[in-house]
């Protein structure tokens, strides 16, 4: 099993990523930490709770509330893309299952308890991760591997032309993380990985969701809004960057190719704010991350299909 913490701004595919964390046979999810990103902070917490509930795992994995705004910038939402992130789903929980301990302290504590053994998957802006670095430098050595969803290595952004959402929202945090000295960072990009290897056409999507399980119905509910948005801007299908990122940690064979790069995030310019400069290792710069160059779309799709076929009993 793979022990890890999932740092998330829960909406749409973050929910699917959490499902992998809860239900994949290789996953040993120690905690869910929440960071400001996609939609309103309270709604994100509710989205995470509703995801655990759909899996019948409410209370099984602790949820820790983290930084509710970026380090220096005003929070930018992606509600135009995701709506409320779960298609209007609403459950009033009798117990919240949210821990008192702050997400940053949970990240520090869990990784320090078993140095070099617990990985972190960051699928939102990097505010919690950067704050953990700033609060206790030992964090950098204590984390086994850091998997990051963010940036582009092919020119195309999704928030401004130059930048992908997670790095755009908190570019300073992203730059702190990439220059902190983590030994094993893996980056799953928006372009090309998400757009080419983790985008499911509407026909594939309908086939996936056409199952009589709680999870398939939940999947459709949380992903419909984003699929409609994607098609309105010329992206042909439902995008799954966050679940692909978790899946690559759990099943490394999904990564068909990755290379060492020097990654830096633009913080100075407004025009290119959050741009990920990825310099090939042959350039005379110290490489600091593996950037995934190709992922196995077919194998990922099969895993998603198997995940949504699982029978679960919601807690509430």
State which residue, 10 or 315, has the beta carbon closest to ligand BDR.
10
Which one of 63-71, 95-103, 157-165, 208-216 is the stretch in contact with ligand BDR (CB under 6 A)?
Answer: 157-165
State which residue, 44 or 119, has the beta carbon closest to ligand BDR.
44
In the numeric block, the tokens 């005003």 are attached to 74
Question: What value, to the nearest 5°, has the Cα angle with vertex 124 and ends 20 and 73?
Answer: 170
Beta bridge partners of 285: none
Contacts of 48 (CB under 8 A, 6+ apart): 8, 10, 14, 15, 18, 32, 34, 63
Residue 241 contact partner, candidates Ca ion, ligand BDR, none, CB within 5 to 8 A by sort of partner: ligand BDR
**Taking the complex as a whole, how short is the minimal distance between the CB of residue 245 and ligand BDR, in angstroms?**
8
Q: How many CB atoms lie within 10 A of CB 113?
A: 11
261: cis peptide before it, omega within 30°? no
Binding map of ligand BDR across residues 187-226, x = CB under 6 A, - = no contact:
---x------------------------------------
**Taking the complex as a whole, how short is the minimal distance between the CB of residue 313 and ligand BDR, in angstroms?**
27
CA nearest to 9, candidates 89, 101, 71, 77: 77
Measured N-to-C along each axis, helices 241-250 and 13-23 cross at an angle, to the nearest 10 degrees, of 20
Residue 275 is a binding residue for ligand BDR (CB under 6 A): no
How many Å is the Cα radius of gyration of the chain?
Answer: 18
Residue 85 contact partner, candidates Ca ion, ligand BDR, none, CB within 5 to 8 A by sort of partner: none
Strand-by-strand arrangement of the 276-280 sheet: 63-65, 27-34, 2-8, 118-122, 143-149, 185-188, 289-295, 255-265, 276-280
Residue 78 contact partner, candidates ligand BDR, Ca ion, none, CB within 5 to 8 A by sort of partner: ligand BDR
**Taking the complex as a whole, how short is the minimal distance between the CB of residue 95 and Ca ion, in angstroms?**
25
**Taking the complex as a whole, how short is the minimal distance between the CB of residue 11 and ligand BDR, in angstroms?**
6
Q: How far is CA 105 from CA 66, 100, 102, 257, in A?
A: 9, 10, 5, 34
Looking only at residues 255 through 284 of this chain, which bind Ca ion when binding is defined by CB under 5 A?
none
CA nearest to 58, candidates 104, 24, 94, 87: 94
Looking only at residues 101 through 140 of this chain, which bind Ca ion when binding is defined by CB under 5 A?
123-124
Residue 14 is a binding residue for Ca ion (CB under 5 A): yes
Residue 39 is a binding residue for ligand BDR (CB under 6 A): no
**Per rule CB under 6 A, count of chain residues that contact ligand BDR:** 15
User: Which of 78, 244, 247, 263 touches ligand BDR (CB under 6 A)?
Assistant: 78
Which one of 26-34, 160-168, 196-204, 302-310 is the stretch in contact with ligand BDR (CB under 6 A)?
Answer: 160-168
* Chain centroid offset of residue 248 CA: 12
Residue 143 is a binding residue for ligand BDR (CB under 6 A): no
Which residue ranges make up the site for ligand BDR (CB under 6 A)? 13-14, 38, 78, 81, 123-124, 149, 158, 164-166, 190, 241-242
Which residue ranges make up the site for Ca ion (CB under 5 A)? 9, 14, 123-124, 242
């Amino acid at each position: 099993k793979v022990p890890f913490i999932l740092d998330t701004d829960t909406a749409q595919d973050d929910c699917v990523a959490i499902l992998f964390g809860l239900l994949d046979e290789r996953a040993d999810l120690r905690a869910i930490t929440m960071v400001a990103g996609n939609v309103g902070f309270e709604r994100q917490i509710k989205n995470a709770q509703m995801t655990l509930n759909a899996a019948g795992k409410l209370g099984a994995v602790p949820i820790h509330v983290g930084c509710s705004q970026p380090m220096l910038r005003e929070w930018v939402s992606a509600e135009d893309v995701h709506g409320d992130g779960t298609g209007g789903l609403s459950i009033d929980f009798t117990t919240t299952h949210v821990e008192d301990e702050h997400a940053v302290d949970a990240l520090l504590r869990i990784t320090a308890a078993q140095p070099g053994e617990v990985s972190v998957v960051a699928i939102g802006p990097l505010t919690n991760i950067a704050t953990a670095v700033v609060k206790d430098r030992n964090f950098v050595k204590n984390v086994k591997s850091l998997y990051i969803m963010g940036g582009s290595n092919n020119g195309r952004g999704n928030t401004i032309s130059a930048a992908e959402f997670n790095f755009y929202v908190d570019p300073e945090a992203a730059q702190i993380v990439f220059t902190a000295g983590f030994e094993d960072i893996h980056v799953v990009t928006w372009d090309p990985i998400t757009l080419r290897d983790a985008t499911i056409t509407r026909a594939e999507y309908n086939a996936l969701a056409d199952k009589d399980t709680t999870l398939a119905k939940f999947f459709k509910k949380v992903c419909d809004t984003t699929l409609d948005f994607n098609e309105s801007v010329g992206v042909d299908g439902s995008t799954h960057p966050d679940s692909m990122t978790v899946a690559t940690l759990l099943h490394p064979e999904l990564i068909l190719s990755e290379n060492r790069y020097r990654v830096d995030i633009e913080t100075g310019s407004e025009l290119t704010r959050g741009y990920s400069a990825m310099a090939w290792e042959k350039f005379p710069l110290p490489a600091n991350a593996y950037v995934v160059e190709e992922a196995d779309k077919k194998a990922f799709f099969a895993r998603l299909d198997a995940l949504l076929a699982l029978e679960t009993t919601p807690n509430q």
